[in-house]
Amino acid sequence: MNNYQKHLKQIAELKGRPELLIHICCGVCSVYPLQYLRQYFKITIFFSNSNIYPYEEFERRLDALRQYLSILNDDSIRLIVDRYDNANYMKDLEALKDEPEGGRRCRVCYELRMEETFRYASKHHYEYCTTVMSISNRKNADWINQIGEKLQQKYPDVTYLYADFKKGDGITKNEALNKPLGLYHQNYCGCIYSIREDL
């Protein structure tokens, strides 16, 4: 098992503030990672989450992210909202609908969203790319970083930023920072199958 937190700490050695495109899945997961990463990068957020069902839930999570960005009040952070297309997105997951939450279906879902992020980063000449998904106890950080490594080979002009944001007390820090904010906190991962799992 790799020490992704050790990889992440190496950003303190970066010169200047490179451009980072970061995939964010919801407001509450963004709080600690954004506060940490903005010290070292010029950040653009990529909200690419067609997995989220229904659309009203997508909007709630996006609104929570916007609320946090308003609180953060950092004009250097940009937000790009990718097109929502749940019907097409779910075609890749339907064959895995009976997989348990946290299984192969989730890995495919990570990969779909991360590839969209890499594709955008490559097209728009971002130097670095990553995702906040590893902050969650429900997400497999090894899978996320393995996917990132594979996608970096496919898009060699973009450097993948390895991370396991839950390590180094990341979850504790994220919860403490979130507590006074009152952001919307979802009770399921996102897709229609994860709603079923959490009932």
C-alpha 4: how far from its chain's center? 15
Instruction: Label residues 112-136 b or e (16+ Cβ within 10 Å = b).
Output: bbbbbbbbbbbeeebbbbbbbbbbb
**pLDDT confidence band for 2 (50 / 70 / 90):** confident
The SS3 call for residue 174 is: helix
pLDDT tens-digit series, residues 60-82: 999 999 999 999 999 999 999 99
* Average pLDDT score over residue span 8-14: 89
Greater pLDDT, 94 or 199: 94
pLDDT at 8 over 90: no
The domain spans of the chain are 4-198
Q: What per-residue confidence (pLDDT) applies to 3?
A: 79
- Mean of the pLDDT values across residues 22-27? 98
Q: What percent of the chain has pLDDT over 70?
A: 97
44, 160, 187 from 194: Cα distances, Å: 28, 28, 10
pTM here is 0.95
pLDDT digits (tens, 9 = 90+) for 133-149: 999 988 999 999 999 99
* Torsion sign, CA atoms 171, 30, 177, 127: positive
What is the full DSSP assignment across 138-167? TS-HHHHHHHHHHHHHHSTTSEE----TTT
Kindly state the average pLDDT of the residues 114-130: 98
Beta bridge partners of 198: none
pLDDT tier for residue 102 given thresholds of 50, 70 and 90: very high
pLDDT the model gives residue 199: 42
The predicted structure's pLDDT at residue 6: 79
Given a cut of 80, whether residue 1 has pLDDT beyond it is no
Q: How far apart are CA 199 and CA 197, in angstroms?
A: 6
Apex CA 192: angle with CA 54 and CA 197, to 5°?
Answer: 135
Q: Name the residue among 124, 25, 41 with its Cα closest to residue 76.
A: 41
CB 110 within 8 A of CB 133: yes
pLDDT at 5: 76
CATH of domain 4-198: 3.40.50.620
